Amino acid sequence: MSPTRPRNESFLSLGSNLEPELHLRQALQELTRHGRVRAVSSVWESPALGRPDQPRYLNAVVRFETDLSAEDLICRLIPEIEKRLGRVRSADKSASRPIDIDLLVFNEETQPVAGHRIPSPEIQERAFVAWPLAELAPGRSCPGGNRTFREIAEALGARDLTRRADIQLMHNAIHPESSNEGRSR
């Protein structure tokens, strides 16, 4: 019998401003095919960065366990899911998108992976990333730092953010068949 590899724990940010409720749910369902979604934050609404002409974003953070490496997540799984859900990468980094997935934390690692820094600098810079992350792991320290996720979120403030209690993602990530509205049984 071969020894089982320990599961890697990661936190992923999800964001969408094109049919966001649909695309966030679809992204979660895609993730469940490659690991285990352990928790999903509340959905947070935020303006598009630097683009008041665009629809507002819906954002969430997912605690995800997988046997995939950080490199596999960044180079293979995340781009595959984004492409499947209709994301087209363009030179305009501020373009609206059906889905944006970023690896924020991978285990307790602090290293560059495939051109990305782990943990992601967005944790320290963007309230729409920090608040949902703090919701899932408030007392956990950011790898390589001495502040907890809650302390980081509080330092950034919550101006321009709205928690959307009317949108529930976790149940649908675990039980996708129950999210098919109007389906007869």
Q: Is 166 a catalytic residue?
A: no
Residue 36 belongs to a domain: yes
Residue 51: which CATH number? 3.30.70.560
Q: Report how far residue 118's alpha carbon sits from residue 185's, in angstroms, rounded to the nearest whole number.
A: 45
pLDDT at 99: 94
pTM attached to this predicted model? 0.88
CA atoms within 13 A on the CB side of 184: 0
Whose tokens are 């665009």? That residue is 54
Dihedrals phi, psi of 7, to nearest 5 degrees:
-75, 145
Beta bridge partner(s), residue 12: 62, 103
Residue 44: per-residue pLDDT: 96
The residue to which tokens 């950080």 are assigned: 70
Say which of 100, 140, 150, 163 is annotated catalytic.
100
| 100 carries an active-site annotation | yes
Look at residue 95 in the predicted model and tell me its pLDDT: 76
Q: How many domains does the chain have?
A: 1
Closest to 33 measured CA to CA, from 79, 66, 69: 66
Omega before 119 cis (within 30°)?
Answer: yes
Domain that holds residue 19: 8-110+161-178
33 sits in which H/E element: none
Query: For position 133, what pLDDT does the model report?
Result: 97
* Whether 27 contacts 175, CB under 8 Å: no
d(CA 92, CA 77): 22
Give domain status of residue 3, yes or no: no
Whether 102 is a known active-site residue: answer yes
User: Is 119 domain-assigned?
Assistant: no
Whether 116 maps to a domain, the answer reads no
Active site (annotated) includes residue 87: yes
Class of residue 56 by CB neighbours under 10 A (exposed 0-12, middle 13-18, buried 19+)? middle
Cβ–Cβ < 8 Å for 133, 149: yes
Question: What is the spatial distance between Cα 15 and Cα 97, in angstroms, rounded to a whole number?
Answer: 8
Q: Please give the chain's pLDDT, 185 residues, in tens.
A: 445 655 899 999 999 999 999 999 999 999 999 999 999 999 999 999 877 888 999 999 999 999 999 999 999 999 999 999 988 776 566 778 889 999 999 999 999 999 999 999 999 999 999 999 999 999 999 999 999 999 999 999 998 899 998 888 875 555 544 444 333 32
Residue 139 lies in a domain: no
Q: How far apart are CA 41 and CA 134, in angstroms?
A: 9
Is there a domain that residue 74 lies in?
Answer: yes
